[in-house]
């Protein structure tokens, strides 16, 4: 109870601060996205001349059949389109043309990118320490973390690990709620969500959208794509953008969508879920199947739907597009777009500029990375064991290699073995490393921290493991083989030096097993620079 009260007090404080920062009005006009080289030199249109707006205190649903362009629209608005597509048209934030890769904007992706070795509470806590203002005290941060856990209904799994490819952890729905929790933690002024309710049961979906609605009605702008919401969930949305094949079927107040469909000649019966009805009218993916099923369906469907069955969906879709274009809803939307385009809000604070707590970020990332490495068996522990076994093997084969003539060849072979085996084994850390890279990429694109902080934190967190592996393997091999240069023979001096170099090199190669971390960080970093 106490935590909840303190959490609310913190939230009120953040609310006042955020309101000072200003609200976010987003407008897009004649927005098109094309793929120029879509096989055989064809061009494919993913979005076709879309116009709309999103304003504070409202939550918008982007709905449409699969592959209708919902994620592409969200990506276009959030400035996250992939490089192989071309965007045209205008996207204005508070009346200005800008990329949205700066402060106050958060994006919850469809895929949950999380570190499987951490618990729910740890994940939220590290994220809070990375992103909440440096002025907040430890207690305030803890209260915010606990409050967010409660808000997303994650109390029961707060201390369970998330799980990854070899560890069973929390469920998919809990992961989804955690991904949302991470983004709402800082109460962003503009929040994009790509299918936040996928994988959730109907009650969880309702509570999640209810929370998003509360956030929106707190002066924030929330835009979310959603697949088939229940009627209760649908009612929570203020605005609706209905898409099909990258074209606008309807844009306006969600409660008026049913009226639009009725006026267009495709009414939804009172007992039918409106979102089901809309999708049924505009999903033309199965038109050929529909034709063969028509006869069967006409006898089984409710009356209003049966009337739809007489037309192929592509025809219904084309009619709706045309009706919307000349409707009062489109006229109202155009007028509001014009109004909002002229609203001059405050600039969003740059994320890069807001990174005033560099040291805090470095220590948080280092601790998180160290915890991840130490908990993930595959990252270092298994390799430490294998390296030690391998050095004992190599040491036994070349045990006290001696100074005879045949020892010349043996020394050469030993050097080759050491560097070969050890280098090869460095690949073992890759799966864990790839998981971490995905998290880094997501956090980097969301502007949580800079590349330099990430690379440095990686170096610091992996240093104890590298030192342990190098010392263990290098020492074992050196003492078993007994590379001690015989100063009377030049050949031995050379070979032993090479052997020693090989041991050093193998240690370096173990360090090189970390190099991917640095290299990838640098490569990605170079991409950003």
Q: How far is the CB of 113 from ligand ATP (least distance, A)?
A: 16
Q: How far is the CB of 286 from ligand ATP (least distance, A)?
A: 14
Backbone φ and ψ of 38, nearest 5°? -95, 70
Nearest C-alpha neighbor of 162 from the set 111, 106, 110, 112: 112
Count CB-CB contacts under 10 A for residue 258. Answer: 17
What is the spatial distance between Cα 128 and Cα 139, in angstroms, rounded to a whole number? 12
Q: How far is the CB of 289 from ligand ATP (least distance, A)?
A: 18
- Put residue 107 in one of left, alpha, beta given phi > 0 → left and psi -120 to 50 → alpha: beta
Cβ proximity to ligand ATP: between 80 and 336 the closer is 80
Contact of 284 with 308, CB cutoff 8 Å? no
Which DSSP symbol is given to 314?
A: H
Contact of 444 with 351, CB cutoff 8 Å? no
Which DSSP symbol is given to 428?
A: G
Cβ proximity to ligand ATP: between 85 and 512 the closer is 85
Cβ proximity to ligand ATP: between 196 and 474 the closer is 196
The strands making up 44-54's β-sheet, listed across from edge to edge, are 44-54, 26-35, 86-93, 96-97
What is the spatial distance between Cα 98 and Cα 395, in angstroms, rounded to a whole number? 62
Q: How far is the CB of 67 from ligand ATP (least distance, A)?
A: 4
Contact of 63 with 242, CB cutoff 8 Å? yes
Q: How far is the CB of 272 from ligand ATP (least distance, A)?
A: 21
Binding site for ligand ATP (CB under 6 A): 35, 46, 64, 66-72, 82, 84-85, 227
Q: How far is the CB of 195 from ligand ATP (least distance, A)?
A: 7
Cβ proximity to ligand ATP: between 36 and 133 the closer is 36
What is the spatial distance between Cα 233 and Cα 345, in angstroms, rounded to a whole number? 31
- DSSP output for 132-183: S-TTS-HHHHHHHHHHHHHHTT-GGGTTSB---SSS--S-HHHHHHHHHHHH
Cβ proximity to ligand ATP: between 66 and 299 the closer is 66
Q: What is the CA radius of gyration of the chain?
A: 29
Copy the structure tokens of residue 281.
């009218």
Q: How far is the CB of 47 from ligand ATP (least distance, A)?
A: 8
Q: How far is the CB of 23 from ligand ATP (least distance, A)?
A: 27
Cβ proximity to ligand ATP: between 26 and 282 the closer is 282
Cβ proximity to ligand ATP: between 25 and 234 the closer is 234
**Quick check: helix, strand or coil at residue 292?**
helix
CB-based contacts of 86, cutoff 8 Å, min separation 6 = 33, 34, 35, 36
Cβ proximity to ligand ATP: between 175 and 411 the closer is 175
Q: How far is the CB of 69 from ligand ATP (least distance, A)?
A: 4
Cβ proximity to ligand ATP: between 61 and 414 the closer is 61
CB-based contacts of 252, cutoff 8 Å, min separation 6 = 239, 240, 260, 329, 332, 333
What is the maximum span of the chain, computed from C-alpha positions, in angstroms? 103
Cβ proximity to ligand ATP: between 86 and 452 the closer is 86
């Amino acid at each position: 109870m106490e935590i909840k009260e303190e959490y609310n007090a913190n939230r009120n404080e953040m609310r006042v601060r955020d309101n000072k920062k200003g609200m976010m009005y987003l407008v897009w006009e004649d927005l098109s996205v094309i793929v120029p080289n879509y096989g055989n030199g064809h061009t494919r249109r993913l979005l076709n001349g879309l116009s709309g707006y999103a304003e504070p205190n409202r939550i918008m649903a982007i709905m449409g059949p699969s592959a209708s362009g919902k994620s592409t629209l969200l990506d276009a608005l959030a400035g996250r389109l992939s490089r192989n597509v071309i965007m045209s048209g205008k996207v204005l934030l508070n009346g200005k043309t800008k990329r949205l890769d700066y402060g106050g904007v958060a994006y919850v992706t469809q895929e949950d990118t999380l570190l499987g070795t951490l618990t729910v509470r740890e994940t939220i806590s590290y994220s809070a320490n990375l992103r909440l203002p440096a002025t907040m005290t430890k207690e305030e941060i803890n209260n915010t973390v606990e409050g967010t856990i409660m808000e997303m209904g994650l109390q029961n799994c707060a201390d369970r690990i998330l799980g990854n490819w070899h560890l069973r952890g929390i469920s998919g729905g809990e992961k989804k709620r955690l991904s949302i929790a991470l983004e709402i933690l800082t109460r962003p002024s503009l929040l994009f969500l790509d299918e936040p309710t996928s994988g959730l049961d109907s009650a969880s979906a309702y509570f999640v959208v209810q929370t998003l609605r509360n956030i929106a009605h707190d002066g924030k702008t929330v835009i979310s794509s959603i697949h088939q919401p229940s009627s209760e969930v649908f009612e929570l949305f203020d605005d609706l953008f209905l898409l099909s094949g990258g074209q606008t079927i309807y844009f306006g107040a969600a409660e008026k969508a049913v009226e639009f469909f009725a006026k267009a000649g495709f009414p939804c019966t009172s007992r039918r879920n409106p979102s089901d009805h809309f999708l049924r009218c505009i999903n033309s993916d199965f038109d050929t199947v529909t034709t063969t099923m028509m006869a069967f369906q006409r006898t089984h469907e409710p009356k209003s739907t049966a009337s739809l069955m007489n037309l192929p969906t592509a025809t219904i879709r084309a009619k709706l597009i045309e009706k919307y274009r000349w409707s009062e809803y489109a006229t109202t939307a155009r007028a509001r777009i014009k109004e909002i385009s002229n609203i001059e809000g405050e600039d969003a604070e740059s994320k890069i500029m807001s990174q005033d707590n560099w040291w805090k970020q470095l220590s948080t990332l280092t601790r998180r990375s160290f915890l991840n490495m130490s908990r993930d068996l595959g990252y270092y522990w298994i390799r430490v064991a294998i390296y030690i076994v391998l050095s004992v093997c190599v040491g036994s084969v070349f045990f006290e290699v001696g100074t005879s003539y045949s020892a010349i060849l043996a020394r050469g072979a030993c050097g080759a073995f050491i560097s070969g085996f050890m280098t090869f084994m460095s690949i073992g850390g890759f799966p864990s490393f790839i998981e971490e890279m995905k998290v880094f990429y997501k956090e980097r694109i969301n502007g949580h921290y800079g590349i330099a902080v990430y690379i440095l934190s990686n170096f610091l967190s992996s240093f104890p493991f590298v030192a342990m592996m190098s010392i263990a393997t290098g020492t074992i091999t050196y003492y078993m083989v007994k590379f001690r240069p015989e100063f009377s023979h030049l050949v031995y001096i050379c070979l032993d030096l090479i052997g020693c170099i090989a041991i050093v090199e193998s240690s370096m190669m173990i360090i090189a097993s970390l190099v991917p971390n640095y290299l990838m960080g640098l490569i990605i970093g170079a991409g950003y620079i």
